[in-house]
Each structure stands twice: as C-alpha cells, then as structure tokens.
C-alpha cells in the first residue's frame, strides 16, 4: 500500500502535484516549506506541517516528492534528504509501458512520454508536454507545459525546456540550459546557457561551476 505523501515546497507547483496524487487515489499528508507558516493550506485540507529541516519526523511513515519547479533546488534537496521518494503520474498522462521513469518525477495532465524514453530522477514533465520515443532526459530537468521534444532527443541534467519550446529530433542539449518559451532548437547545444528565438540562439552563458 502506498504511504501518505509529503510535499517538499508549498508554492504553485505543489498545488498541481498534490492534485495529481489525489487524482491517483493517493493521500497527501502535508507540506514542508521554509517560507510558509505552519497551518497554512496549500490546497484545502493540505497544511504546511513545518520547515523542510523537519522532514525526519515523517521519513519513516511517509514518502516524499519535491514539488518545486527550480531544477537546481530539486537537485540540492534530492542530495540532502534521505527519504523514500514518490513518483507522481497524472491519470490523463500517456506514458508508454516501454518508458523508464526515475524516482521522484512528476508527469502532469495530458503529457506524453513515448516508447523507450528515459526520464531521469526528480524531473518534471509538465502539462501537455511531449517527450517522444528514445528521448533521454537528464535528472532534475523540467519540460514545461506545451514543450515538444522530437524523437531521439537527449537533454542533459538540470535543463529546462520552457513553455511551448520545440526541440528537433536527434538533437543533444547539454546540462544546465534554459531553452526559452517558444524557442526552437534545431542543432546541438553544448554550451550551458539561456537560449531564445527561432532558431534558438545563446543569450547568456552559464559558468561551468554553476551547472
């Protein structure tokens, strides 16, 4: 039987993760958040229980999911917290039986993850995103609402493909990138940074020690 779930983070993304878990018949025990006061309700009946540092109180009885959109914050917290991680897949998502989904992932409403795709741990495949066949999505990545990845795309760790962006088939994008909303990546990207436009071009390089 699935354990009750604790959400790490109580912002906007936590609302959709909580709704997903409840839609699957799961139980959300509450939220741990450093910015919200205990008792504050992220959604009706889902209270903030305390700060993230208090997670050990619940580690034996609950599973956890990091309900925070930031790739870097999810990476840091996943390394710090010694807990059982929960993966949340919305019942309207289309996930191939041949796909591989890592621990702690969230796959949102009407998202598609097709055959032989591999989704790294603690990644987000958000509402209506399309991850085509043979994609490899690095851990801690975020494929935002409406983003489309063609077949055989490889995305490095901690990369965000923003809303409505498209990545052509057979493209490789290195870790630590942000592909801006509506951008179209038509060639490999091997420099960590922020990209925008059609075709996507580098706007700002990210220093190596920040990836």
Burial of 172 (0-12, 13-18, 19+ CB in 10 A): middle
Instruction: Name the nearest CA neighbour of 118 among 103, 138, 94.
Output: 138
The CA-CA-CA angle for residues 15, 19, 22, to 5°, reads: 140
Q: Identify the active-site residue in 90, 110, 133, 142.
A: 133
Q: Is position 13 annotated as part of the catalytic site?
A: no
Give backbone dihedrals phi and psi of 173, rounded to 5 degrees, phi first.
-120, 125
- 149 - beta bridge partners? 131, 167
**Taking the CB of residue 133, how many other CB atoms lie within 10 A of it?**
17
Under 8 Å between Cβ of 57 and 38: no
User: Cα separation of 148 and 181, whole Å?
Assistant: 11
Q: How far is CA 117 from CA 3, 144, 145, in A?
A: 27, 17, 18
User: Cα separation of 209 and 102, whole Å?
Assistant: 25
- Tell me the catalytic residues: 133
């Amino acid at each position: 039987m699935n354990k009750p779930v604790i959400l790490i983070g109580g912002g906007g993304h936590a609302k959709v993760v909580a709704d997903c878990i409840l839609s699957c018949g799961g139980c959300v025990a509450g939220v741990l958040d450093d910015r919200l006061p205990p008792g504050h309700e992220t959604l009706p009946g889902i209270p903030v229980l305390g700060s993230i540092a208090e997670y050990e109180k619940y580690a034996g009885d609950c599973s956890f999911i990091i309900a925070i959109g930031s790739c870097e914050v999810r990476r840091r917290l996943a390394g710090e917290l010694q807990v059982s991680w929960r993966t949340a897949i919305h019942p309207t998502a289309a996930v191939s039986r041949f796909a591989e989904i890592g621990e702690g992932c969230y796959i949102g409403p009407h998202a598609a993850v097709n055959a032989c795709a591999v989704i790294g741990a603690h990644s987000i495949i958000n509402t209506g995103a399309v991850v085509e066949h043979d994609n490899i999505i690095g851990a801690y990545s975020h494929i935002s609402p409406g983003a489309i990845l063609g077949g055989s795309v490889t995305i490095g760790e901690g990369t965000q493909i923003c809303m409505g962006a498209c990545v052509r088939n057979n493209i490789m994008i290195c870790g630590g990138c942000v592909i801006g909303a509506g951008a179209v990546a038509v060639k490999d990207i091997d420099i960590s940074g922020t990209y925008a436009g059609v075709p996507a071009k580098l706007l700002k390089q990210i220093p190596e020690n920040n990836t």
